[in-house]
Amino acid sequence: MPTFPLTLALATILTTGTALALTALNIQWSHPTPDALPLAWTYANVSMLLTTLTLWPIRKTPTPLLDAATIIITAIPALTVAALLSNITLTTALPTLTTQLALILLTLGTLQWRTHIPQPLIAATLTTLAAVAPIFAYLWPEFLPAAPQSWLTIIPAIAITHTSFWPAILYALLGSILTLTAPRGDKVTR
């Protein structure tokens, strides 16, 4: 029987809980507003995204499905509080939640390749998607203002703050393809 991923559960609780604490302390990382509580939904979702794309991939786990369920279940309390603080309705939350689930599926699919691709490379790729891509998205319009901007919503940190479902569809499709095409066998790379 697989063991419960306690460290991943604690990491999810810590990251999403920290997001709520930051909003309660009125600490803001974007355009300052008089009250940060309406930003709780964004903060909690960015924290969950970082857990999914940075902390989970570095974990050597024999049960990625249990890990995925753990992230989802342990994020529910903070996301619920964040939605209440931000006055988020189910209709407004649906694109974000769909994108979160799609990112979990993408990570799950990527982790299926651990037997043939070194885990540090997988973790670095997903971390880049989570942490470096938003920096790229910030710099893109600064240096290329005439270039198309709409494609930037594909970046996970941007996708979870928009009302479009197409990034979620893309991530879910990629995750499904990665899962279905993952090599089966005992070749393990370091």
Crossing angle of helices 6-24 and 40-50, rounded to 10°: 150
Burial class (CB in 10 A: 0-12, 13-18, 19+), 127: middle
Whether 38 maps to a domain, the answer reads yes
Whether 55 maps to a domain, the answer reads yes
Whether 164 maps to a domain, the answer reads yes
What backbone torsions phi and psi does residue 189 show, to the nearest 5 degrees? -105, 155
Query: What range does the domain containing 120 cover?
Result: 6-181
Crossing angle of helices 40-50 and 64-85, rounded to 10°: 170
Q: Residue 28: its pLDDT value, please?
A: 79
- Which residues does 147 contact at the CB level (< 8 Å), separation at least 6? 140, 141
Lookup result for tokens 């974000």: 96
Per-residue pLDDT of the chain (190 residues; tens, 9 = 90+): 778 999 999 999 999 999 999 999 988 776 677 788 889 999 999 999 999 999 999 998 889 999 999 999 999 999 999 999 999 999 999 999 999 999 999 999 999 999 899 999 999 999 999 999 999 988 988 898 888 888 889 999 999 988 889 999 999 999 999 999 998 865 555 4
Whether 190 maps to a domain, the answer reads no
Q: Based on the structure, what is the number of domains in the chain? A: 1
Crossing angle of helices 90-111 and 119-127, rounded to 10°: 150
- The alpha carbon of residue 109 and the mean position of all alpha carbons in its chain are separated, in whole angstroms, by 14
Considering the entire predicted model, what is its pTM? Answer: 0.90
**3 state DSSP class of 68:** helix
The angle at the Cα of 156, spanning 102 to 28, to the nearest 5 degrees, equals 125
Whether 186 maps to a domain, the answer reads no
Whether 188 maps to a domain, the answer reads no
Whether 156 maps to a domain, the answer reads yes
